[in-house]
Amino acid sequence: DGGITQSPKYLFRKEGQNVTLSCEQNLNHDAMYWYRQDPGQGLRLIYYSQIVNDFQKGDIAEGYSVSREKKESFPLTVTSAQKNPTAFYLCASSIISGTGFNTFGSGTRLTVV
Amino acid sequence: QQQVKQSPQSLIVQKGGISIINCAYENTAFDYFPWYQQFPGKGPALLIAIRPDVSEKKEGRFTISFNKSAKQFPLHIMDSQPGDSATYFCAASSSGGNQFYFGTGTSLTVIP
């Protein structure tokens, strides 16, 4: 089955620690996205990538980093600079950036302990 | 400036009733308007979508109407069922753009 796989489903981070969230898609989609979801705030764009080895900052990129070394993979690192990282993180992809619709993964819930 | 405005934040409807969730957009360049359904702990899933060349799209009990002059595209859920209880997001994008803009979500509860 084609789709987007996010792992892990749950992740706990200690203060000052960097953590990496995995996102893999086998849909052959060109564009990939990372969103952060907080209660009452909907989905906010962190980073997006339209092609391999290129990515753009979204609305809330501070404290996050990404890479796009392969078309199917778009990992997100939550760095220690992100002061309020507890949230639900969603990865998505689309055929062409900005068109069609986003297909979403099942999310990773990150909690700071 | 918020590109897509969604209301209400939460909605409670009796089983069999009509649920109406409103969504308005700012940018007239938007030409694709999807609605997503999200269950707790899951990612959003595409529910139904519309383009500006039609005034209404219906899929089963779900209908989007498109009002170009008012820049609105509300979602109607007919004969609402408890299984429809979820969070609904509207979104907008443009062919020449490079990202999607989401509303803040509506938590729908359908009571038996």
pLDDT at A55 over 60: yes
pLDDT digits (tens, 9 = 90+) for B77-109: 999 999 999 999 999 988 766 678 999 999 999
pLDDT of residue A73: 98
pLDDT at A97 over 60: no
- Alpha-carbon distance of A73 to A75, in angstroms, equals 6
- Alpha-carbon distance of B65 to B33, in angstroms, equals 10
Contacts of A92 in chain B (CB under 8 A): 43
Q: What is the mean pLDDT of residues B56-77?
A: 97
Of residues A32, A10, A51, the one with CA closest to residue A102: A32
Q: Is the dihedral of CA A14, A20, A25, A31 positive or negative?
A: positive
- Residues in B whose CB is inside 8 Å of some CB of A read 6, 9, 32, 34, 36, 41-46, 49, 89, 91, 93-100, 102-105
Residues, chain B: 112
Task: Please tell me whether residue B83 adopts helix, strand or coil conformation.
Answer: helix
- Alpha-carbon distance of A55 to A64, in angstroms, equals 12
Among the partner residues A41, A99, A105, nearest to B43 by beta-carbon distance? A105
pLDDT of residue B95: 76
Contacts of B105 in chain A (CB under 8 A): 40, 42-43
pLDDT at A98 over 60: no
| Parallel, antiparallel or unpaired: strands B10-14 and B106-111 | parallel
Residues, chain A: 113
Extended beta strands in chain A, E state: 4-7, 10-13, 19-25, 31-38, 42-51, 54-57, 64-66, 76-78, 87-94, 103-104, 108-112
Q: What is the mean pLDDT of residues A11-36?
A: 93
Among the partner residues A35, A101, A109, nearest to B46 by beta-carbon distance? A101
Among chain A residues, the shortest Cα distance to B6 is held by A42
Percent of chain B topping pLDDT 70? 96
Of residues A33, A39, A40, the one with CA closest to residue A91: A33
In contact, B19 and B3? CB cutoff 8 Å? no
Least confident of A37-41, B27-31, B106-110: A37-41
In contact, B36 and B88? CB cutoff 8 Å? yes
pLDDT of residue A41: 77
- Residues in A whose CB is inside 8 Å of some CB of B read 4, 6, 31, 33, 35, 40-43, 45, 48, 50, 56, 58, 90, 92, 94, 97-107, 109
